[in-house]
Structure 1
Amino acid sequence: MTDYALEQLKRKRADMTGEIARCHARLQQLSTDLEHVDATIRLFAPDFVQESILPKVFAPPKSWSKRGEMSRAVLSILRVAKGPLSTREIAAMIVQQRGLEHDKGILDVMTRRVGHVLRDKRETGLVRSVEETGLWLQWEVVR
């Protein structure tokens, strides 16, 4: 048993050191590219201070989901529901669960995401659409 665990740990360490080496190589390439961009900026504006350009940082919106998180939330809502729910109702419940502001914009975004999850799960046979009320399909888990 310990030989197996040791082999797995050695493999994990090799993977991690390889990843670190790739990150170092990418960092080196980005540094070189940045030097080239700075040199080009100096050609056009010799007195420009490059450090005045702030780095652009990606900050995901609060409505962002990690892989599989939206599917799990939608399916768990449908599993405990007393009957079929519309796409919009499921989206409203997810907005409430996450503690997001309940405005039309975020509800529209969540409704599109929930609709995508439901169509995908319908293709795999996990859920089915029962009937249409107004603009929204009614969904339930296949039992």
Structure 2
Amino acid sequence: MSDIALEALKRKRAEITGEIARCHATLAKLSADLEHLDGTLRLFAPDFVAESVLPKVFTPPKSWSKRGEMSRAVLSILRVAKGPQSTREIALQIVAQRGLEGDPGIVSIMTRRVGGVLRDKRDAGLVRSLEETGLWLQWEIVR
């Protein structure tokens, strides 16, 4: 094996073992914090059973996006559009693409997210808004 590859593998191993050490330290701190919290709870409720409180697990909402996913979806919709599109029209297309239910709550959340992406992209000079179109801003890609 070449020296360059060997050094790269050693460097990667060092990164991984460092991350494992950080995770162990975080786990130890969380365990100590939990013990202290359980002790405090027992002061106020001596018959408290810690296992009766179930862990709270984070579950992202259905409309959740990974980093950059919303921007890519919005820009791809604008690229293939025949003309300017409103924020709501783009949001409805994204809801349909993802197979989400078109209930007003999801559409409202998606419209706000699309609006945020469009404002950021307007500031970056990638899209422009046509403001004389009435209630909803119309958006198009800058060509």
Answer whether TM exceeds 0.5 for this pair.
Answer: yes
| TM-fit CA distance, 1:19 | 0.8
Q: Are 2:120 and 1:120 equivalent residues in the alignment?
A: yes
| TM-fit CA distance, 1:86 | 0.5
Counterpart of 2:43 in structure 1 is 43
1:70-101 per-position Cα deviation (integer Å, ceiling 9, x unaligned): 00000011111111110000000000000001
In 2, Cα distance between equivalents of 1:30 and 1:49: 19
- In the alignment, structure 1 segments of 5+ residues that lack a partner are none
Q: CA RMSD in A?
A: 1.4
Identity %: 80
1:4-44 per-position Cα deviation (integer Å, ceiling 9, x unaligned): 33332222221111111101000000000111111111111
Q: Are 2:100 and 1:100 equivalent residues in the alignment?
A: yes
Q: Determine helix, strand or coil for the equivalent of 1:136.
A: coil
1:84-143 per-position Cα deviation (integer Å, ceiling 9, x unaligned): 110000000000000001011110100000000000000111111124433211111111
The verdict on how the C-alpha distance between 1:81 and 1:89 changes in structure 2, with shifts beyond 3 A counting, is same
TM-score when normalising by structure 1: 0.94
For 2:112, give the aligned amino acid.
Answer: R
Counterpart of 1:65 in structure 2 is 65
1:28-74 per-position Cα deviation (integer Å, ceiling 9, x unaligned): 00000111111111111111111000111110101001110000000
The verdict on how the C-alpha distance between 1:2 and 1:132 changes in structure 2, with shifts beyond 3 A counting, is farther
Q: Which segment drifts farther, 3-12 or 66-75?
A: 3-12
In 2, Cα distance between equivalents of 1:20 and 1:34: 21
The verdict on how the C-alpha distance between 1:79 and 1:51 changes in structure 2, with shifts beyond 3 A counting, is same
| TM-fit CA distance, 1:2 | 3.6
Counterpart of 2:130 in structure 1 is 130
